[in-house]
Amino acid sequence: MSTHDNSHDLEVLDGNTSLDRFEDPGHPEHKPRRGDLDPKANKKAERQVLFLFAISVLGTIGFVVAYFALPPGDNPESMRTSNLALGGALAFALLGIGTGAIHWAKALMNDHEKSEERHLQASDAETREAAVQALQDGTDDSGISRRGALKGAVVTAVALFPLTIALPLIGNIGEDWNVSKLKHTMWKKGTRLARDPSGRAIKASDVTIGSVFHVIPEDLEEAEHPLDEKAKAVVLLVRLDPRDIKSEQGEGWSYDGIIAFSKICTHVGCPVALYEQQTHHLLCPCHQSTFDVADGARVVFGPAKRPLPQLPITVDDEGYLIAQSDFHEPVGPSFWEREK
Amino acid sequence: MSTTTAPTTSTPTPLGRAAAGTADYLDQRTGLGVVVKNFARKIFPDHWSFLLGEIALFSFVTILISGVFLTMFFVPSMGETHYTGPWDSLRGVEMSEAFSSTLRLSFEVRGGLLMRQIHHWAALIFMAAIVTHMMRVFFTGAFRKPRELNWVVGFTLLILGLAAGFSGYSLPDDVLSGNGLRITDGVIKAIPIIGSYMSYFVFGGEFPGQDLIPRLFTVHVLLVPALILALIGLHLLFVVLHKHTQYPGSGRSNKNVVGFPLFPIYVAKAGGYFFTVFGVIALMAATMSINPVWNYGPYDPSPVSAGAQPDWYMLFLEGSLRLMPGGAEFVTWGGYTVSLNIIIPAMIVPGILFTLLAIYPFVEAAVTGDKREHHVLDRPRNRPFRTSFGVALLVAFFILVLAGSNDLIATHFHLSINDITWAFRVLFFVGPWLAFVITKRICLGLQRKDRELVLHGHETGRIVRFASGEYIEVHKPLDAHERWLRVQHDNIRPIEIEPAEDSRGVRRKGYQLDRLRQRLSQVFYEDRVEPVTPAELAAAHSHGEHDEIASESHEPAQVGGGHHLVEPEGETTTDGRNTQV
């Protein structure tokens, strides 16, 4: 490192301080504004400030007028007009004051820069000594250094007390804390597949090759918390030419090319809703995880690791699509104990 | 001016007497006089870049004003209801009361839509102002002693700003923000061991549950704003305690502060600036639609729209999630799932970026070996390492932001989303290094330009021909003020440490730590261009036979462009080391 040697050479130069640094030439001369020299320009600036404040007053009046004259109404056009009028008037009211005040300060107020001294942030030695003494005196007065047991007692008591607030909070905030609910959905043997959101059951004959159905359990509305259940149970149903199906997650889980996968992405849980017929790819619009429906929903691209869980389906006596069982693994994003 | 403010109540107008009476009443009860005496004429330096922090402050005030308005009408409840308002396409649709009241605010409350849009735009500007203000503080070294703690306060405000923005964005309970919450839930669940329980903690059971909106509401209107207000108070208190930093220039030193008095200049300027910021936000809210939730519809776990983007300050997290390949997830020996494909982009990457940002002032202080107070700002070029490091961090951040919009880039430019994602994956690792190297080169180049100017002066465009037939361009020396700006900064070199062994050959304690400090210090300061010293300038001129005044004579010292006698040989070496002898 050649700089080492060089810095030694520079040290020699450092000995002569007057040659080492330039001197601050001090404040540059004040340059007067036009208004400082020309009373006419000064008067003009004053009129400009006056004008800006007047604009503000007009803006406020305009706002009040717009408030009464232009109600939002019930069509997008009148809503937009009302918003534009109110906002525009408010902007004038505010910008008038803002620009007026700034122009006043810049053009008319005294513009001579002033200098103020700074002082070291630290307090002086005397103050510090007094502060240390004050703390020492206080400690002596309390006698805390002599009474070790008291010290322990007060620390213990204060450290324990927050439990009285934390316990009921933590006890209740996670409802029943039963995280095993994450592993099940409301699909069970015989639950009919129904259209989302109408809830009408789907017949196998309704599903043509290449079509996509967004599916919920038929009895979703009967659940205690339908939205919570829906968040786990939504399914995407497609029908492929049975010859195109390369693999499935279980033997006999599809019905005549009709195949159903959880719609909840195994990455962070967005609905995987974009289906491309030609390639049989399902794309998650949030983070672009791509799954191959024809190949057991294998991950083709993106941040997801696992395939979308497949819902085993079949048909009942009336030809409606039904679930054979719940999913065989937890749906949605990974969590620590999902395989336990 | 100062004489009129003195307490000579010789003009007893009614207003003047009332003011004097009030002042007297207050002073007798509060001792307010001391405060006014100390603060009314306090000096603040002037520079446009000091306004960035003010924008943050004033947009926050705008957020408070519009936010209070919104709370009067918003119903923070996930209770189910059916919409009956004037918006046709949603009439009869089942939705939460939060969403329904947001629609009411937008369509039925007069000025409600304006206030919603003001609130949202102000939030975006608040975050943008915080980030740019932080950039200003970083690149000018305003975080140096004694302001390190205020940097930490500001950093905490940035994090709280993110929390405020995110919690507010989710309140209307529309389908976009609901999907944002679902992503949050997925990220929370990825936390090892306690992930599922943390998810239950946040949502009050399973996602989405019944509790989240009221909980977020309390976080958004009470907890976070209270903390932000308290920390803004502390932030400004520090500014008053430390007095504001100032840019270098003649007459400005670490021992003074040069500028204008608070009253009346900054009362008018900053007061006016508040109205200007508010006014610009109002104009934006009047003309630009933001978050039209009525087009998205209420939250439902099933639908999602392509091309959805979070607010800009959340895009880096989204981009980070998008870039990570999925293969990183694995199952441990005991059968537990570790989602590294989420933990790395959502926790570790932002964790590293934010930690670097938070601790930088302390690292720099340690490797500079500098215990002095600094009140004069650095010109970014004079701190090549810091400037390039900051630019590298920013580049990493903005690559993630862009990656968060990779789907929009794909659809706008008709590119393959997979190719774009791969390009960003590579860029995330290469971009910051490139940015670092390029920025450092630019800084060193600018410093050399400064040296060149100080030593040789301005080019005048006057070409002189000598009797010998030689042509030269005449250079005009810099005046004292121009020169001072280019030579005033400290000449910082890597720190020296004591040797590993003392005179008796005993190994010294703490040597390893010192050695690390020294190594880092070399990384920071080894490449440098030192400011011109008076000796060098004198040398440059003496070679030119003291001709700086009479510039028409033969003046090689002021000939620009070519290689130069006085110019130290090594100064223009490619690694930028200053090898003067």
Distance CA B111, CA A93 (A): 15
In sequence order, what are the residues at sequence separation of 6 or more whose Cβ sits closer than 8 angstroms to the Cβ of residue B560?
B452, B456, B459, B473, B475
Q: Which of A107, A136, A151 is the last residue of a domain?
A: A107
Confidence bin at B563 (pLDDT 50/70/90): very low
As a whole-number percent, the residues of chain A with pLDDT over 70 amount to: 94
Cβ separation B308–A285 shorter than 8 A: yes
Tell me if residue A300 falls in helix, strand or coil.
strand
The verdict on A319 and A192 lying in the same domain is: yes
The pLDDT value given to residue B5: 46
A5-9 mean pLDDT:
36
Checking if the pLDDT of B184 tops 80, the result is yes
Amino acid identity for residue B401 in this structure: V
Distance CA B404, CA B76 (A): 29
The verdict on A311 and A203 lying in the same domain is: yes
The pLDDT value given to residue A295: 95
Confidence bin at A19 (pLDDT 50/70/90): low
**Is A74's Cβ below 8 Å from some Cβ in B?**
yes
The verdict on A82 and A188 lying in the same domain is: no
The pLDDT value given to residue B543: 65
Alpha carbon distance, N-terminus to C-terminus of chain A: 58
Q: What does DSSP assign to residue B95?
A: E
Checking if the pLDDT of B574 tops 80, the result is no
Does residue A255 form part of some domain? yes
- Please tell me the number of Cα atoms within 13 Å of B151 on its side-chain side: 24
The verdict on A207 and A316 lying in the same domain is: yes
Distance CA A210, CA A293 (A): 12
Q: Which of B536, B392, B377, B527 is nearest to B447 (CA)?
A: B527
Residue, of A20 and A24, whose pLDDT is higher: A24
The pLDDT value given to residue A145: 85
| Residues B136 and B356: beta-carbon distance below 8 Å | no
**Is B218's Cβ below 8 Å from some Cβ in A?**
no
Checking if the pLDDT of B288 tops 60, the result is yes
| Residues B527 and B501: beta-carbon distance below 8 Å | no
The pLDDT value given to residue B500: 84
Q: Which of A19, A79, A273 sits opposite B533 (nearest CB)?
A: A19
Q: What does DSSP assign to residue B495?
A: P
How many independent structural domains does chain A possess?
Answer: 2
Domain range spanning residue A50?
34-107
The verdict on A313 and A187 lying in the same domain is: yes
Tokens of B543: 């070679």
Contact residues, chain A, for B578 at CB < 8 Å? 3, 6
| Residues A224 and A243: beta-carbon distance below 8 Å | no
Cβ separation B275–A21 shorter than 8 A: no
Whole-number average pLDDT of chain B: 90
Q: Which of B259, B373, B488 sits opposite A121 (nearest CB)?
A: B373
Residue, of A73 and B286, whose pLDDT is higher: B286
Checking if the pLDDT of A7 tops 80, the result is no
Sign of the four-CA dihedral A77, A79, A85, A88: negative
Which single residue is written with the structure tokens 């919409």?
B83
pLDDT (tens digit per residue) in A120-145: 999 999 999 999 999 999 999 998 88
Distance CA B66, CA A18 (A): 59
Which single residue is written with the structure tokens 């700089």?
A3
B240-268 mean pLDDT:
95
B522-529 mean pLDDT:
93
Does residue B503 form part of some domain? yes
Distance CA B296, CA B330 (A): 36
Q: Give the phi and the psi of residue A335 in degrees, each rounded to 5.
A: -145, 165
Does residue A167 form part of some domain? no
Does residue B443 form part of some domain? no
The alpha carbon of residue B29 is apart from the nearest alpha carbon of chain A, in Å, by 28
- Integer angstrom CA distances of residue B482 from A167, A302, B355, B376, B487: 67, 56, 39, 17, 9
Distance CA B366, CA B368 (A): 6
The alpha carbon of residue A242 is apart from the nearest alpha carbon of chain B, in Å, by 27
Confidence bin at A6 (pLDDT 50/70/90): very low
A82-91 mean pLDDT:
97
Checking if the pLDDT of B579 tops 70, the result is no
Q: Which of B316, B309, B310 is nearest to B395 (CA)?
A: B316
| Residues B115 and B69: beta-carbon distance below 8 Å | yes
**Is A100's Cβ below 8 Å from some Cβ in B?**
yes
B516-528 mean pLDDT:
93
Q: What does DSSP assign to residue A141?
A: H
pLDDT (tens digit per residue) in B418-455: 999 999 999 999 999 999 999 999 999 999 999 999 99
The alpha carbon of residue A304 is apart from the nearest alpha carbon of chain B, in Å, by 5
Domain range spanning residue B522?
494-527
Cβ separation B258–A115 shorter than 8 A: yes
Which single residue is written with the structure tokens 């159903």?
A260
Cβ separation A72–B108 shorter than 8 A: yes
Checking if the pLDDT of A11 tops 70, the result is no
Cβ separation B304–A285 shorter than 8 A: yes
Q: Give the phi and the psi of residue A275 in degrees, each rounded to 5.
A: -110, 130
- CA Rg, chain A, in Å? 38
How many independent structural domains does chain B possess?
Answer: 1
Q: Lowest-confidence range among A86-100, A255-269, B4-18, B390-404? A: B4-18
Amino acid identity for residue B390 in this structure: G
In sequence order, what are the residues at sequence separation of 6 or more whose Cβ sits closer than 8 angstroms to the Cβ of residue B260?
A111, A113, A114, B43, B44, B46, B266
* Cis before A197? omega within 30: yes
Cβ separation B192–A263 shorter than 8 A: no
Does residue A257 form part of some domain? yes
**Is A303's Cβ below 8 Å from some Cβ in B?**
yes
Distance CA B446, CA A104 (A): 38
Distance CA B367, CA B495 (A): 7
Does residue A88 form part of some domain? yes
Chain B's closest residue to A76, CA to CA, is: B87
Checking if the pLDDT of A40 tops 60, the result is yes
Chain B's closest residue to A285, CA to CA, is: B306
Q: Lowest-confidence range among B352-366, B380-394, B530-544? A: B530-544
Which single residue is written with the structure tokens 């059971």?
B205
Cβ separation A91–B494 shorter than 8 A: no
The verdict on A230 and A319 lying in the same domain is: yes
The verdict on A193 and A292 lying in the same domain is: yes
B52-69 mean pLDDT:
98
In sequence order, what are the residues at sequence separation of 6 or more whose Cβ sits closer than 8 angstroms to the Cβ of residue B504?
none
Q: Which of B118, B241, B577 sits opposite A2 (nearest CB)?
A: B577
Checking if the pLDDT of B397 tops 80, the result is yes
Whether the model clears a pTM of 0.80, i.e. scores above it, the answer is yes
Tokens of A34: 């036009």
Confidence bin at B572 (pLDDT 50/70/90): very low
Q: With a CB-CB cutoff of 8 Å, which residues 55-74 of chain B face chain A? A: none
| Residues B219 and B163: beta-carbon distance below 8 Å | yes
The verdict on A193 and A308 lying in the same domain is: yes
Q: Which of A42, A76, A107 is the last residue of a domain?
A: A107
Does residue B504 form part of some domain? yes
Which ranges in B108-174 belong to alpha helices (H)?
Answer: 112-139, 148-169
Does residue B508 form part of some domain? yes
**Is B549's Cβ below 8 Å from some Cβ in A?**
no
CA angle B108, B106, B213 (to 5 degrees): 115
Tell me if residue B188 falls in helix, strand or coil.
helix
B211-216 mean pLDDT:
96
Distance CA A78, CA B86 (A): 12
Tokens of A89: 């008037």
The verdict on A219 and A310 lying in the same domain is: yes
Does residue A146 form part of some domain? no
The pLDDT value given to residue B250: 94
Tokens of B84: 């009956």
Cβ separation A72–B113 shorter than 8 A: yes
As a whole-number percent, the residues of chain B with pLDDT over 90 amount to: 83
Checking if the pLDDT of B554 tops 60, the result is no
B136-163 mean pLDDT:
97
Chain A's closest residue to B304, CA to CA, is: A271
B479-495 mean pLDDT:
93
Q: Which of A67, A88, A107 is the last residue of a domain?
A: A107
Q: With a CB-CB cutoff of 8 Å, which residues 218-277 of chain A face chain B? A: 225, 227-228, 230-232, 234, 263-265, 267-271, 273-274
Q: Give the phi and the psi of residue B564 in degrees, each rounded to 5.
A: -130, 145
CATH number of the domain residue A273 falls in = 2.102.10.10
The alpha carbon of residue A71 is apart from the nearest alpha carbon of chain B, in Å, by 7
Confidence bin at A340 (pLDDT 50/70/90): confident
Torsion of CA B317, B319, B323, B325, to 10 degrees: 50
Distance CA B83, CA B133 (A): 43
The alpha carbon of residue B573 is apart from the nearest alpha carbon of chain A, in Å, by 12
In sequence order, what are the residues at sequence separation of 6 or more whose Cβ sits closer than 8 angstroms to the Cβ of residue A47?
none
Confidence bin at A18 (pLDDT 50/70/90): low
Residue, of B350 and B1, whose pLDDT is higher: B350
Does residue B361 form part of some domain? no
Confidence bin at B11 (pLDDT 50/70/90): low
Cβ separation A269–B494 shorter than 8 A: no
Q: Torsion-angle region of residue A26: left (phi > 0), alpha (psi -120 to 50) or beta?
A: left
The pLDDT value given to residue B507: 85
Sign of the four-CA dihedral B359, B362, B368, B373: positive
Checking if the pLDDT of A119 tops 80, the result is yes
Q: With a CB-CB cutoff of 8 Å, which residues 250-269 of chain B face chain A? A: 250-251, 253-261, 264-265, 268-269
A154-171 mean pLDDT:
96
Q: What does DSSP assign to residue A267?
A: T
Q: At what angle do helices B267-287 and B112-139 cross, to 10 degrees?
A: 130
Checking if the pLDDT of B218 tops 50, the result is yes
Cβ separation B43–A114 shorter than 8 A: yes
Q: With a CB-CB cutoff of 8 Å, which residues 145-174 of chain B face chain A? A: 146
**Is B241's Cβ below 8 Å from some Cβ in A?**
yes
Strands B94-96 and B329-331, by their bridges, are unpaired
The verdict on A96 and A205 lying in the same domain is: no
